[in-house]
Structure 1
């Protein structure tokens, strides 16, 4: 298959455009605000809800739901990716998780204070669908592009994701701020419609990558004992990973700093609503600001990596995250929160796109088992989210303050920076040969 084909590259980037609305509307903006309000109503103003008989603080329930979702994903995805690589059905798995996540978003339309338990489970399914589809999407990058374009194309995908999600959020935000313009009288209805539009948007634009991305470019044919052979495939990839010393070191560093980075993504809005008591409109506008700054941030970090190498660029990003956590700990006013949000936007997309590109560079060249290789990347990421959100919720539950949870994240970023510093930035080791800087 011809690499760097503009039509295929643009189609691949469109999946970022399609699925990023989940990260923005469901994870970061409207859903967390709506969740907090619904939980407050369900708890008669105490903030402590009954989840299948368990009395738990709503913000802690949110963190634990995210943690449990990614634990399940981390256990499931390696099996799926091994089978996908062995049978050649990678796109089918990508479609399954895509539709699972999108339909779950549509079902959140029925989220009210009386359906809290059911809606929390549906929210968890939306996370599983989103995270499950991403690993197959990411694994296409080394198949459709050459190494010298990984940083640029990865940044383009994230930027398109930011732009697409902003467009849908603006529409949803107009409903939230001016429901009467749409003939809506129920105050909760704009948010519920927003959840439904996420699913529609996701499915609609996902048809573009599903149309143009290769289904089975190696021409593999399923054989008997596909499950057993799928596990064998996973074992083969694991043995290959152990031969790549810098790849293993990068995965460890990635695991630690992602623990902090992705936790911030999932709890930032809850922090603003619960700790700073910011109004819903201010929180949603803040998330919108993060997205707009994130477009520039993705390309900015791609440019930095071209100048000083991927590892040094990542170290700069993690150092900024340490400063962000310190700033968030002392934040007490809305204006300060906006400044922190701008800094988050600048490094969030950039560090994620650069991490994906760096891993693509470090996996063995000309590998055909890309889904299995990216399953290790995905499991690392999902395990980090699981542990990070659990730590965040546990620290809050034990100490009663989210600010102490922020300090825990700061410590995590410091460890991530130290681990990154152990990886040579000027050269990588691949198949016994020294290659160009990464």
Structure 2
């Protein structure tokens, strides 16, 4: 059997890297449509009435469907044992259905993402895996157009598939960062990618909100406007994924198993070695824990902002929606601003400063007056300034403290720390609400996450961590 020729060396010149970087940025532009349009705005409020319609047909057949959905909570409260939908044999309240699907999606990501990361690093076929996950997610998202009437399970399954594909594609996408940028370029490239993602998600969300708010004048029902919006997110995701697939290049990897089954087996073995070897990089682990803590605070504040606006400040949905839009566009400039500050003052100092700002923002929640839209917009503006930069620079820092050739595996751990820790902040908010019945106190409780995260990050010796991983220490870190 002839010996295969060694792979040709890739052009790693600055011009070649810039070409890949421009393609890489556009995947954030592509996939952010799913997060903003589907997860943040439309799917949750839409699928719960779909589940209520199914429960009405099952438990209250004598009540007109529209009236049943509108009066569902009262009907269910007056009829113990009724008002549930079936999910694999379990009786679930319609209001809890979307939250259950989110929980299932998060659990599956925790299981699957390390395998995805190991497979990407083991086979070296990152571009193919990125495309496969992206188009699987885009198709599942487009399928949400067919969720209507009582098809709640169709919506739940498609959402779980789309969310799993989204997380898997992001692991592969993030793992390209250290391959397409030098250590000195890392902060700028990561920040630009995050910024462009906010811009892309914001552009499509703005278009969809116009469609939603003007649906009657366009001759559309509200449900049809939502379905078209979710379909557009999948089409957007699919269309713009073409560009990174044309620009990004696979890197050579050591010889590996040729069959898919053996590759998966080899990936499992490599993943086991990675988890065992993580003990050799205690400072990388310390950074990962610091990120887990303060990012949990970030995600919880964002996830509860709408509830804070409606429950504590008594602001209407229009204010909430316009605030979401403002955050998307301001975060574009915020990510670029923090990236520039990192080049001048150092990445670690910039992230630490952003955590101080986060602490001030949640502390201000105690003083924002009820009904004060301007004060709420100012809070949202401050969040937008630090939101993208905190996450983009953290991604850049993490890319510096992981060994070469294992990028996807380690980024899968970063994603898991993001997904798997989300319940801690949610639990903290739940306990605070249970004890005080105050969303102001619940928001202030997030201070502990930013303070502890600040301390852990401050204690992380990043130059030592970078050298321990075998990487070059940038001039400013």
- Per-residue CA deviation, residues 155-195 of structure 1 (Å, 9 max, x unaligned), is 111111112122212211211122245x3331222222111
Match of 1:382 in 2: 419
* Bigger mean CA deviation after superposition, 308-317 or 189-198: 308-317
- Per-residue CA deviation, residues 68-99 of structure 1 (Å, 9 max, x unaligned), is 32222011111122122212232333223222
Point out where structure 1 has 5 or more consecutive residues left out of the alignment.
Answer: none
Alignment of 1:216-365 (within 5 A): 216-218=251-253, 220-223=255-258, 225-273=262-310, 276-331=313-368, 332-333=370-371, 334-364=373-403
- Per-residue CA deviation, residues 180-212 of structure 1 (Å, 9 max, x unaligned), is 45x333122222211110000001100111122
Which one of the candidate residues 99, 111, 115 is aligned to 1:75?
111
Seen in structure 2, the aligned counterparts of structure 1 residues 406 and 62 have a Cα distance that, compared at 3 Å, is: farther
Which one of the candidate residues 18, 22, 30 is aligned to 1:18?
30
Point out where structure 2 has 5 or more consecutive residues left out of the alignment.
Answer: 1-9, 53-67, 77-82
User: What is the rounded CA distance, in whole Å, between the counterparts of 1:430 and 1:354 in structure 2?
Assistant: 19
User: What is the rounded CA distance, in whole Å, between the counterparts of 2:84 and 2:124 in structure 1?
Assistant: 45
Which one of the candidate residues 222, 237, 240 is aligned to 1:205?
240
SS in 2 for 1:222: coil
Seen in structure 2, the aligned counterparts of structure 1 residues 64 and 45 have a Cα distance that, compared at 3 Å, is: same
Seen in structure 2, the aligned counterparts of structure 1 residues 379 and 12 have a Cα distance that, compared at 3 Å, is: same
SS in 2 for 1:29: helix
Aligned residues of 1:70 and 1:385 also touching (Cα < 8 A) = no
SS in 1 for 2:451: helix
Match of 2:219 in 1: 184
Aligned residues of 2:281 and 2:469 also touching (Cα < 8 A) = no
Deviation at 1:388, TM superposition (A): 3.4
Post-superposition, which runs of at least 4 consecutive aligned residues in structure 1 deviate over 6 A?
Answer: 36-41
TM-score by length of 2: 0.81
User: What is the rounded CA distance, in whole Å, between the counterparts of 1:43 and 1:220 in structure 2?
Assistant: 61
**Structure number, greater radius of gyration:** 2
Deviation at 1:266, TM superposition (A): 3.4
Seen in structure 2, the aligned counterparts of structure 1 residues 409 and 220 have a Cα distance that, compared at 3 Å, is: farther
Deviation at 1:343, TM superposition (A): 1.3
Seen in structure 2, the aligned counterparts of structure 1 residues 378 and 168 have a Cα distance that, compared at 3 Å, is: same
Alignment of 1:364-375 (within 5 A): 364=403, 367-375=404-412
- Per-residue CA deviation, residues 363-421 of structure 1 (Å, 9 max, x unaligned), is 23xx1222122222222222123443455457657876544542443322222122122
Which one of the candidate residues 33, 46, 53 is aligned to 2:73?
46
Aligned residues of 1:291 and 1:345 also touching (Cα < 8 A) = yes
SS in 2 for 1:143: helix
User: What is the rounded CA distance, in whole Å, between the counterparts of 2:165 and 2:186 in structure 1?
Assistant: 25
Seen in structure 2, the aligned counterparts of structure 1 residues 84 and 281 have a Cα distance that, compared at 3 Å, is: same
1:105 paired to 2:105: no
Q: How large is the RMSD of aligned CA atoms in angstroms? A: 3.0
User: What is the rounded CA distance, in whole Å, between the counterparts of 1:258 and 1:356 in structure 2?
Assistant: 11
Seen in structure 2, the aligned counterparts of structure 1 residues 36 and 202 have a Cα distance that, compared at 3 Å, is: same
TM-score by length of 1: 0.88
User: What is the rounded CA distance, in whole Å, between the counterparts of 1:186 and 1:430 in structure 2?
Assistant: 59
SS in 2 for 1:179: coil
Aligned residues of 1:74 and 1:379 also touching (Cα < 8 A) = yes
Match of 1:88 in 2: 124
User: What is the rounded CA distance, in whole Å, between the counterparts of 2:153 and 2:438 in structure 1?
Assistant: 25
User: What is the rounded CA distance, in whole Å, between the counterparts of 2:310 and 2:147 in structure 1?
Assistant: 19
Which one of the candidate residues 170, 174, 184 is aligned to 2:210?
174
Aligned residues of 2:352 and 2:454 also touching (Cα < 8 A) = yes
* Bigger mean CA deviation after superposition, 133-142 or 94-103: 94-103
Deviation at 1:348, TM superposition (A): 1.0
Seen in structure 2, the aligned counterparts of structure 1 residues 71 and 171 have a Cα distance that, compared at 3 Å, is: same
Match of 1:115 in 2: 151
Deviation at 1:32, TM superposition (A): 4.4
Aligned residues of 1:86 and 1:233 also touching (Cα < 8 A) = yes
Seen in structure 2, the aligned counterparts of structure 1 residues 36 and 51 have a Cα distance that, compared at 3 Å, is: closer
- Per-residue CA deviation, residues 287-329 of structure 1 (Å, 9 max, x unaligned), is 1100111011111111222233222211111222222222335
SS in 1 for 2:84: strand
Match of 2:60 in 1: none
